[in-house]
Structures are given as structure tokens and as C-alpha cells.
Amino acid sequence: MKRVIISGGGTGGHIFPALAIADALKEQFPSVDILFIGAKNRMEMERVPKAGYPIEGLDIVGIQRSLTLRNLQVPVKLWKSYRRAQQIIAEKKPEVVIGVGGYASAPTLLAAIGAGVPTLIQEQNSYAGLTNRWLGKYAHKICVAYPGMEQFFPADKVVYTGNPVRKDILQLPTRAEALQALGLKANAPVLLVMGGSLGARVINESICAQIRRFADNGIQVIWQTGKHFIEKARQAVEEQQAGEWVHPTAFIERMDYVYSTAHVIISRAGALSISELCVVGKPAILVPSPYVAEDHQTKNAMALVQRQAAKMVSEAQAPAFLVSDALALLHSPAEQALLSENIRQMARPNATQHIVQCIKSLVSSTAS
């Protein structure tokens, strides 16, 4: 394999799986030329070069939910992005184009399909969005993270692989090593609270309002707030004299350490977060974001709840119930064990290798 294009981004949930696929391709084919195509002014334009890969940015935006003049720009930008994607594909002559979701993925896949280039979609969610459902009719192969996705895509194209996760998540350090690195007590339970790379307002506010309860119950909290809430969180911890117990941070660099130490995790229900929770096998309370397309985070969460593999608190319920539910779960080893056992059964630790195998077979079959 010589030339590959990977397109998509916008959130860590799209970027990290894309990078995991790229790294795995590089391991098997050291000389492969991998180009990313993303959306200008989105986080992939920074994260992808940091990971060592070149990226081209398309001038594309998504449709705003509210009525705004910006929506009038969408068709024009989509057309310009499609034409630019056509140019890139004509210049690079990729053997395969992989779409991972995000604004740039649609015009890039459309251009590849029009040029007769083999295409693969990596669908992270349990409920496929409209764009991927439509593209799935024309793509050659679709790698999915949940069983039963034939309801959205042609059954003969679907491969149940799971979602790629970062390498460090697959081999966690010992808990003793992680506790020491983070400066945590060995004899007190740990709650990990995370709301995605930018944080989640309702989760942050629910924790902030009841910080003292964690200290009073002897619970250590690793609290990933996002950059916009970090100062408020630090002030609240200081005011409630909980600095010994509650540890806010804007961003977590070493997820392997915090996963290793956590007894219970509060998290959004993005596809990447859920895939990592399954692999690490930790009891979780999911608070789905209701602000994402087609409410797919709630559907992701329900896929676990229905298997008794996680608990769920809606955003509307979070201020009243999230902290109480977390404390109840932390005080119930039996329920922790049940959730942990069931969520581990949904793990697909070999997802990245399976997806790379699908890419290889697609390139081989179309080349012959």
C-alpha cells in the first residue's frame, strides 16, 4: 500500500480513531504516504500535524441549528470543498480514501466515489447520521462499532470491527504506579469525571455544586473540566476546602493513568469515550449530550444501559441526581462488579487491526 487519504475530524471522537488507523497502517506499511483532509479552523488542523501527518484543510462548515445567515454559506462552501477534494485526489492518486466523520469527510468521500477510488467509512456511533447513511450506499466498505448496523447500511458492506482506541489505553499501567504518578491516596476510592476535550457544562456545574459531599465521603475526584471552566472549578474547590480530595484539571494528558486509578467514571457518551470505557472495563455513569446530531449520544448510552453495562443520567436530571448516583455506585462494590463485567464483554480491543485488515482487503480486491 502506497497512498492513503483519511478524511474527517471536528472532535476528538473523529480525530483519535483516524490517527489510530493511520498509525496502524504505518506500522504495517512503513513507506505508505498518508494525507489527512480536514476542515479549516477545526481541531484536526492542529492535532494531526502534532501527530506527524500532513493535512489539507477544506473551507467547509456545518449547518447551524438556529436560523442564521451563516447557513446560506453552506452550499457554496460544500461545492468549493468538493472541487478542492477532487483536485487533491487527482493529484495524490490514493489507493483508498477513508472517511471517519466530520465536516470534511462528506465532500472528500463524494470526490473519491466520483473518481472511482475505493472508499471505506468508519462509523463510530450506534446510530448512523444522515450523511453517512447516504454515503454508505456508494462506499465500498463500512466498518462499524456496534452490532445491528445493517438497519442503516447495506448488509453486504458492513463489518463489525469496533472503534479504534489509543494504544496506551490497551495496556494500562499498574494502579500503584498510576496512583503514585498522580499523587493520589492508595486507600480511598477514585471518581473520574470527564466531559470531553472542552468539558461539559452540566456535568461541571453538577459537580461544582456538591464538591463537599465527595470530601465528606472520602472520595478522591479527578475532574477534567475543559479550559473554560477550570478557574471556576479551582475556586469552588478552595472555597469548599476540598483540595485534598477534588483535583480539577483543564485537560488530561495521561488517560492511561486516570483510567487505571478510577473505580467509577462519569462521562459523556461520545463513541470514542464509550469504546475506551469498554476496553478498560470501568463502571460508568453516562451523561449524553443532547446537542449532537440526531441525539446519537443518548443512543450510544442506551446500547450499554440495555445490556446492564452502564448507568445513564440525562442532562436534565444531572443537577439533581448525578452526584448522588455516583456516590451510591462508589459505595456498591457489587454493582460496580456487574457493570464492569458487562461492559468488558462489549470491548473490541483489536478494532484497529481489524479495520486495517478491511482496508488491505479492499485495496487488494479493487486492484485485482
Known binding-site residues for UDP-N-acetyl-alpha-D-glucosamine equal 11-13, 125, 166, 197, 252, 297
Residue 272 near residue 17 (C-beta atoms within 8 A): yes
Name the binding residues.
11-13, 125, 166, 197, 252, 297
Residue 117 near residue 131 (C-beta atoms within 8 A): no
CA distance 364 to 360: 6
